[in-house]
């Protein structure tokens, strides 16, 4: 295609910008429970996220990318004008990136999935025609935004209720924690490993049978559980502090578990939300190289690497703004509460990534945190903060759409 290098260069630049926005905003609220519960310092959280977000994006980021790339716009209507899809995807990336920059500077935890899907729908409906939008697919995605926080909230409610029943309400909670936390560790490690093996490692050429995947996931789960149990056994009760803070030592046990769930959450988020940046990028590169809109091509490894790198840079440079909002202001978090929220959110996100449905990490995590709060009673939740978060979610879709429309007509007039 004419202007191929221009298109690919701009797509890579805007894709990196969008991935930066994901790191600054969405990764921040993915790690916020760890920081808010004091299980990890902000520096350690950034380090954990850098490693596991990158691995999730590169190893397991392909399934959702195909949904973003091909599921929202009816590409058959663009067969004769492939350049319109390029202008639209460039506009969508830039629009979503700009909105995430604004939101992150203000500490608003908005949805990057809302941003990019709203942008794509906006450019397609105005730039091509309302019929170009696959409204059925959009409805499916919107339904997942409703289902994901409810699912994560329900799972978090069950997990934290079990923690209360098995450990916190018992006569010797520390002894019970040493007995049961390794079991929670096993389930956390087993779930994340299994979904990774089943859905995520095709990009690196590793394909195992179902039986092999289950056996390997169980082995890794047992290994992490044993290592965790050994670490937990060394934790001695601090009688003096325990008198002032009844569950101080028990929460130290859960802090060990939180590190595992923080790694899981980061991997899960990287696997799902990298698609918001590299889906449109992959579409532009495919069309620019072939000139064919219908062409389906595998996501190249360098695109996944670009997305992973952008996410890490965004978290390191701007992430602390949103961490402060989500980790400390919705409800009071301790390591046991943060663990329940993170494990529930991670499970929901990784399952969604494997099935190819682009959900919102923001929705999922806030739903999980609310689920933990509900297990303690409605008074434990700051409803005003939750209300402001909901408003920021509603504003995100029209903001992304309007910016995309403006950029679409700009690119249409100046690009070759």
Residue (of 115, 415, 137, 80) closest to 273 by Cα position: 115
* H-helix or E-strand spanning residue 270: helix 248-273
Distance, CA of 242 to CA of 248 (rounded, Å): 5
Burial of 286 (0-12, 13-18, 19+ CB in 10 A): buried
For residue 246, the model assigns a pLDDT of 62
> Contact, 85 vs 290, CB < 8 A?
no
What pLDDT, on a 0 to 100 scale, did the predictor assign at position 96?
Answer: 93
For residues 69 and 90, what is the distance between their CA atoms, to the nearest angstrom?
A: 12
How far apart are the C-alpha atoms of 35 and 341, rounded to whole Å? 13
Mean pLDDT in each 10-residue stretch from start to end of the chain (416 residues)?
Answer: 79 93 82 84 84 79 56 73 84 94 86 85 86 80 78 91 89 85 86 67 63 88 90 78 70 80 77 77 79 62 84 86 78 84 80 69 84 82 81 85 94 83
Phi, psi for 84 (deg, rounded to 5): -65, -35
User: What pLDDT does residue 242 have?
Assistant: 64
- The CA distance from 261 to 255, in Å, is 10
107 DSSP assignment: T
Under DSSP, the state recorded for 233 is H
Is residue 113 within 8 Å of 400, Cβ to Cβ? no
For 320-345, letters b (16+ CB in 10 Å) and e give: bbbbbbbbbbbbebbbbbbbbbbbbb
**Are 85 and 411 within 8 A, CB to CB?**
no
Please give the pLDDT value at position 354: 65
Question: For residues 96 and 15, what is the distance between their CA atoms, to the nearest angstrom?
Answer: 10
* Both structure tokens of 256: 């060990």
Which DSSP letter does residue 323 get?
H
pLDDT at site 95: 95
Look at residue 298 in the predicted model and tell me its pLDDT: 57
* 33 CB-near residues (< 8 Å, 6+ apart): 258, 262, 265, 326, 327, 333, 338, 341, 342, 365, 369
Q: Which residues of 23-41 are buried (b: 16+ CB within 10 A; e: fewer)?
A: bbbbbbbbbbbbbbbebbe
414 φ/ψ sector (left φ>0, alpha ψ -120 to 50, else beta)? alpha
* Alpha helices per DSSP H over 164-247: 173-195, 210-233, 239-244
Q: How far is Cα 110 from Cα 121, in angstroms, rounded to an integer?
A: 18
pLDDT value of position 110? 86
Q: What is the pLDDT of residue 157?
A: 92
What predicted TM-score, i.e. pTM, was given to this entire model?
A: 0.80
Helix then strand count (H, E) for the chain reads 16, 0
DSSP letter, residue 380: G
The structure tokens listed for 171 are 């006569």
> Which tokens belong to 34?
């760890």
Helix (H) or strand (E) holding 410: helix 383-414
């Amino acid at each position: 295609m004419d202007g191929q290098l221009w298109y690919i260069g701009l797509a890579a630049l805007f894709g990196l910008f969008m991935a930066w926005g994901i790191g600054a905003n969405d990764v921040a609220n993915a790690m916020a429970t760890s920081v808010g519960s004091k299980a990890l310092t902000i520096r350690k959280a950034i380090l954990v996220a850098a490693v596991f977000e990158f691995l999730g994006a590169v190893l397991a980021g392909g399934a959702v990318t195909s949904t973003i790339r091909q599921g929202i716009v009816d590409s058959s209507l663009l067969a004769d004008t492939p350049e319109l899809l390029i202008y639209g995807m460039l506009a969508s990336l830039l629009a979503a990136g700009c909105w995430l920059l604004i939101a992150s500077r203000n500490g608003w935890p908005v949805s990057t999935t809302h941003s990019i899907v709203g942008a794509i729908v906006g450019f397609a409906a105005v730039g091509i025609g309302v019929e170009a939008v696959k409204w059925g697919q959009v409805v499916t995605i919107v339904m997942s935004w409703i289902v994901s926080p409810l699912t994560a909230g329900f799972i978090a409610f069950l997990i934290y209720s079990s923690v209360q029943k098995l450990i916190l309400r018992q006569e010797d909670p520390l002894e019970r924690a040493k007995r049961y936390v390794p079991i929670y560790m096993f389930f956390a490690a087993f779930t994340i490993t299994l979904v990774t093996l089943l859905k995520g490692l095709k990009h690196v050429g590793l394909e195992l049978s179902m039986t092999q995947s289950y056996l390997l996931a169980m082995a890794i789960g047992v290994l992490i559980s044993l290592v965790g149990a050994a670490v937990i056994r060394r934790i001695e009760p601090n009688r003096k502090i325990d008198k002032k803070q009844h569950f101080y030592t028990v929460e130290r046990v859960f802090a060990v578990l939180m590190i595992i769930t923080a790694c899981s959450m980061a991997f899960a988020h990287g696997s799902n939300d990298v698609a918001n940046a590299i889906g449109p990028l992959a579409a532009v590169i495919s069309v620019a190289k072939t000139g064919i809109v219908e062409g389906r091509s595998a996501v190249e490894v360098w695109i996944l690497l670009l997305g992973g790198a952008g996410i890490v840079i965004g978290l390191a440079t701007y992430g602390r703004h949103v961490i402060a909002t989500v980790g400390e202001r919705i409800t009071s978090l301790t390591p046991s509460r943060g663990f329940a929220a993170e494990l529930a959110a991670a499970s929901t996100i990784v399952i969604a990534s494997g099935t190819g449905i682009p959900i919102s990490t923001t929705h999922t995590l806030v739903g999980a945190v609310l689920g933990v709060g509900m297990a303690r009673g409605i008074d434990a939740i700051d409803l005003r903060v939750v209300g402001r978060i909901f408003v920021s979610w509603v504003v995100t879709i029209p903001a992304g759409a309007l910016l995309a429309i403006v950029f679409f007509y700009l690119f249409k007039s100046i690009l070759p």
